[in-house]
Structure 1
Amino acid sequence: MAAGIDHLVTSGTFSLDGGTWDVDNNVWIVGDDDEAIVIDAAHDAEAILKALGGRTLRAIICTHAHNDHIDAAPALATRTGARIHLHPDDLPLWKRTHPDNAPDAELADGQVLTIAGTDLTVLHTPGHAPGAVCLYARDLGTVFTGDTLFRGGPGATGRSFSDFPTIIESIRNRLLTLPPETAVRTGHGEGTTIGDEAPHLEEWVQRGH
């Protein structure tokens, strides 16, 4: 069978720059009946294991290294033997949460990850975080955007390691060039499509979203 997408929401906290906030995170599982990858192992390794349902976990992909997206990654890796993949530009953020653990593999722009016969292309999209990436699955008509693009605008850039002009350029050049019908599966909240968000780019620029 072709790869499918499973979704669960886990809850915990996000901490940076001395503040802590309660958050709900989207965890995405891409695979078939036998094998899968997890995109953003957030908060609850046990819940993610349950959602995997005994499938072989081939990789844990981190869209970026804010603590709410990686806090359960080492525990999930220990339980499954899966390798943790992160763009190297986000290692400084990773070390704030996991100073005694390191990711197992580096993500690179243009890299192709294959699971259950489906390719996911890594798009380096800095701005929300230096090493933020999105994963484009053309055959599934979807892009997993982490915290780079949401319904209604770009991810937050008001904290350390982030930059508004950079995230705008990432969205403009790497995401809005995808087919307009592409489903956007985000790191938090509801999804959207590239076509629904594209007309609003200049509005975001004007208001410094």
Structure 2
Amino acid sequence: MSPVDHVVTSGTFSLDGGTWDVDNNVWIVGDDKEVIVIDAAHDADKIAAAVGDRRVVAVVCTHAHDDHVNQAPALADRFGAPILLNPAEAPLWEMTHPDRAPDRELHDGDVLAAGGIDLRVLQTPGHSPGSSCLYAPELGTVFTGDTLFNGGPGATGRSFSSFDTIIDSIREKLLTLPGDTVVRTGHGDPTTIGAELPHLEEWISRGH
């Protein structure tokens, strides 16, 4: 079994009075006995089917936009797993789940483990105040949520976001990773750190 399973789910993202159709990448990391689920989006049944009979160590949210967390409580309850989220995401989380708080806080430098794989938490605010990425050194991959995509940084045009902050996060936390690190994103196709690194200045000039 691959240490990384990938499920694509479809639904909507709503913020600031607008709603958009989106396809989300859900990542399941671990072995044949236990896993961590990253970003429980849209379809709890589809995600649960991919998990199978494995133990879910945690449901980790890279950030709290509704398209990344709308199924987190349902999935966590189904598997008896805690929900992990950076506390700076509270205002966004409460828009979707006002009656259920995350179970544990996610902080920069935390190390989460499932099936012998370590995921290091990299705090990468900008797309949202407490956005987090998860770096698995032994897999040579980083799960970036909506912080870094194939082609550039995540969107910063809506509430609780900052372009300057996301650029600082990408420059300091992500582009310093090995160039062959595979970037597994919250939406769309994967990329690598090396493929995105040369475009930093171009993003900055475009963003301003």
Q: Which bracket does the TM-score occupy, shorter chain normalised?
A: over 0.9
Q: CA deviation at 1:4?
A: 0.3
1:174 alignment partner, SS class: helix
Aligned counterparts of 2:101 and 2:42: Cα–Cα separation in 1: 18
Paired position in structure 2 for 1:57: 56
- 1:1-209 pair list within 5 angstroms: 4-208=3-207
Aligned counterparts of 1:77 and 1:38: Cα–Cα separation in 2: 9
Aligned counterparts of 1:132 and 1:108: Cα–Cα separation in 2: 10
Q: CA deviation at 1:54?
A: 1.0
CA contact (8 A) 2:31 2:116 kept: no
> Per-residue CA shift, 1:31-58, capped at 9, x if unaligned?
1111101000000110000001111111
Q: CA deviation at 1:136?
A: 0.3
> Per-residue CA shift, 1:68-104, capped at 9, x if unaligned?
0000000001111010000000011000000000000
Q: Where does structure 1 lack aligned partners over 5 or more consecutive residues?
A: none
1:64 alignment partner, SS class: coil
Q: Where does structure 2 lack aligned partners over 5 or more consecutive residues?
A: none
Q: Which amino acid aligns with 1:128?
A: H
Identity of aligned residues (%): 71
1:8 alignment partner, SS class: strand
Aligned counterparts of 1:42 and 1:189: Cα–Cα separation in 2: 14
> Per-residue CA shift, 1:102-159, capped at 9, x if unaligned?
0000000001011111111000000000010000000000000000000000000000
Q: TM-score, normalised by structure 1?
A: 0.98
1:158 alignment partner, SS class: coil
The alignment covers a number of residue pairs equal to 208
1:189 alignment partner, SS class: coil
Aligned counterparts of 2:30 and 2:112: Cα–Cα separation in 1: 12
Provide the aligned C-alpha RMSD in A: 1.0
> Per-residue CA shift, 1:144-188, capped at 9, x if unaligned?
000000000000000000000000000000000000000000000
Aligned counterparts of 2:76 and 2:137: Cα–Cα separation in 1: 27
Q: TM-score, normalised by structure 2?
A: 0.99
> Per-residue CA shift, 1:5-29, capped at 9, x if unaligned?
0001000000000000000000000
Aligned counterparts of 1:58 and 1:135: Cα–Cα separation in 2: 15
- Structure 1 moving runs of 4+ over 6 Å: none
